[in-house]
Structure 1
């Protein structure tokens, strides 16, 4: 497991920044009309890793058990494939481009937006978190270092490793609820975020042959070992999900708890995390609710992170907050059907602005890499609005929108003329203004069809639909005001913390 010393960031902002002075409603026990909520989120875990989706690198028994007893979503998307903006969509129920500064990575979260845990606390819920909440960034008006409501003290790491005992913190949270109020808990691991203990796959008894190498990477021992080190970290996440389920079973709470498990985006590798290709924004998601969700269902309808908050609100009998523009999928949870259920859920919109620094202009200002995209049953269409900018950051400034890793080091060591140089270009090169991929035939987004006349009509139709919906959602990029995303301060290390 990890041996790094990086800290957990922004814990107080999701369910920890709750010392608001609000008076909760009269305590009320959980019931069929007002279930408990347990939300578990991995940090950088790809959908393809989990056994319920056919993953074979490691076993994920807890996630797979929930899928067997609940509903597995085959088309769940994060709206924006980076930690802060993806989690901002989750907690607010809004699309990324509707969140002002919070559309960026490492922002100051606008004070005007409410978080669903705060709303449930106001409604009388026992609310808490452990690990990584909304992060990284700064919540306006909150002190992340201050004592927060139900802020569970993090237990010491196990001997020799850094990892937090998330499940034990969940148990402590449940112990703090003697009145038996319905609860809302955010279990946010920092795994499988980098950095990793190199070679941990050997200790776990894995084999290089177990690694599944995407076609946009070279197939060698370095890449396979890096993928397996990542896979070991996924098992830590799954283990704590399993232990949290065990706590609910032991206390007789499982039967009336709505559980949703997901990840904020794909694994921390080049061309995946932070990038608008399928593995970066197509996330795992399973929901379990005994007696409400019929076991073993698989739903194909498209759902997106902005849909999660209004779903939680409706599940507990509350109206979604007026700020929430996502659409509740409570009907999908209650439906007895599998497959395609709601004909209107046939696509999702996706986007990104500035994730990390490293695209400076002549004045030294850090610039966004704006993209808007639409994903349907058959196609992914992406509009790279500033194709002259580097999607993963300027190579001369360190490709800062890509986590450091053995895989990144291998690719960046390749030089023009090397037989494998195309792997570098696929991850770090400039991109055309428009990209179109036929996802069912090309799930890894390897063949861009944008210049193929056979697909021009389909591409034009997708672009028109995407832009019309974005105009309806007041996306600044559609209204000629998109450059404002470049002017919001970046508050991370090395960023310009100008006011």
Structure 2
């Protein structure tokens, strides 16, 4: 009885302390756009010089927080990327090698301890809404699944009202995942067969659609400048603006319920635009993505961070904010146990780093105690028929891509092959697709080395340039060490092939 009373007292005391100091365990809203390219967001216009999509609410979030310019998804594929976001581990370690659709049947390890599960154990209320797309549910368990329909972001925001209202005095984690601007299928009634990206002829309930005229659109450098591309971009931007409107509605709800100043809001995308040359690749349009963070407990407002970060950092960062002191790879030794072929399963440490130090209240704009100079990327499958593993390392200046299955032609995801952009390109008979030829896109060398400072569009492979041999050797050694540290089964390729 005495122990029970003492436990109750400690719980009440902890609750009282947290109520007085919400920064000790802040609320978290993690918003994940679906296939949202860096060029299709207004506040990144100063970076890309080509953004035309209207995103006033994401622009507002950037003014209220920090916009990261060197943020990377570790893989440009929906399910593997989301498994990384929610686990803090690369997909080759989670087991989520590809899409979780029943047809493809990729699943994470059952014993994987993920962000929602750990936050639940720490006393957070957890809820998800919209696109889920990871498996098994036992590994990615939330208290509530508010809805699996992510097609109407404004409606989604309204469906979060009860959850927010009921957790005004308890820390919560809301995982908000629209399906915009993911492609929803082809539509022969649209110009050039452009894909509607979730757009409906009669619109969406509660949504004021923003319609774009294709004739005035500028085409991003990684796509062919053609009518089919512009028609598809017009549809894509419309779905981006719809997502932005839903995000604005969610912001309004947080403010109405008095939660805005107690809640960290993070916006990012799972992978790049759903067209060849971006999604499923390790080229910049596939993996370099928007990341905007508003921390109400920080003095960092309307700032830009150029440090390198990636999606394996998200879980350790949020666990750090929850006071759970996450173990990270930088402080870990090589995984112990198991055999040569990588059967050890998930590591007991996270593969990323926490960004929390960057947002410390007393950190001046030029005195951030956080640095990020290297990120690693890992891709194996998209659909089960698309075996093309890649492992990459990115530094402030260089990127090295290892195309493990380089003897194979680069495979096409079904939605990319069917895109109006690609089909229009095939019908044109042209050979140049964006920055590379069709042949160079489909047939790749074992290694690609790019100087991102001099060659941001990744046009010139420097692997055979003797002046870059030391850089190549250093990056390759770093990549091999990364594979060892993160328990990558594909590291055996160095021995057996």
Counterpart-to-counterpart distance in 1, 2:289 and 2:365? 19
Kindly tell me: are residues 420 and 187 of structure 1, through their superposed partners in 2, closer, same or farther at Cα, counting changes over 3 Å? same
**Contact persistence 1:350–1:373 (CA under 8 A):** yes
**Contact persistence 2:31–2:176 (CA under 8 A):** yes
Aligned to 2:205: none
**Contact persistence 1:412–1:424 (CA under 8 A):** no
SS in 1 for 2:297: coil
TM superposition shift of 1:339: 6.6
TM (norm. structure 1) is 0.79
Aligned to 1:191: 180
Kindly tell me: are residues 165 and 401 of structure 1, through their superposed partners in 2, closer, same or farther at Cα, counting changes over 3 Å? closer
SS in 1 for 2:146: coil
TM superposition shift of 1:222: 1.1
TM superposition shift of 1:427: 7.5
Counterpart-to-counterpart distance in 2, 1:314 and 1:162? 32
TM superposition shift of 1:351: 1.6
Which sections of structure 1, spanning at least 5 residues, go unmatched?
A: 1-24, 360-367, 394-398, 484-499
For these two proteins, the number of residue pairs brought into alignment is 433
Aligned CA RMSD, in angstroms, stands at 3.0
Identify the match of residue 412 of structure 1 among 420, 426, 435.
426
TM superposition shift of 1:212: 3.1
Q: Could you report, residue by residue, the CA deviation over 1:395-446 in whole angstroms, capped at 9, with x for unpaired residues?
A: xxxx54835210121123354xx46578661685111111111212322222
Aligned to 2:376: 349
Q: Could you report, residue by residue, the CA deviation over 1:266-309 in whole angstroms, capped at 9, with x for unpaired residues?
A: 11111100111011011110110113242112111111111111
**Contact persistence 1:476–1:482 (CA under 8 A):** no
Q: Could you report, residue by residue, the CA deviation over 1:53-77 in whole angstroms, capped at 9, with x for unpaired residues?
A: 1153111111111111111111111
Kindly tell me: are residues 162 and 434 of structure 1, through their superposed partners in 2, closer, same or farther at Cα, counting changes over 3 Å? same
Q: Could you report, residue by residue, the CA deviation over 1:222-275 in whole angstroms, capped at 9, with x for unpaired residues?
A: 111111211111112211111111111111111110111100011111110011
TM superposition shift of 1:97: 2.4
TM superposition shift of 1:337: 4.1
Aligned to 2:116: 117
Aligned to 1:39: 30
Q: Does 1:85 align with 2:99?
A: no
TM (norm. structure 2) is 0.79
Which sections of structure 2, spanning at least 5 residues, go unmatched?
A: 1-10, 101-105, 202-208, 328-347
Query: Which structure has the highest helix share of the two?
Result: 2
Q: Could you report, residue by residue, the CA deviation over 1:194-241 in whole angstroms, capped at 9, with x for unpaired residues?
A: 126646799744233543323343212111111121111111221111
Identify the match of residue 44 of structure 2 among 53, 57, 68.
53
Aligned to 2:454: 441
**Contact persistence 2:39–2:220 (CA under 8 A):** no
Q: Does 1:126 align with 2:125?
A: yes
SS in 1 for 2:159: helix
**Contact persistence 1:260–1:285 (CA under 8 A):** yes
Q: Does 1:385 align with 2:385?
A: no
SS in 2 for 1:98: helix
SS in 2 for 1:313: helix
Counterpart-to-counterpart distance in 2, 1:151 and 1:235? 25
Aligned to 1:429: 442
Matches within 5 A, 1:210-221: 210-221=216-227
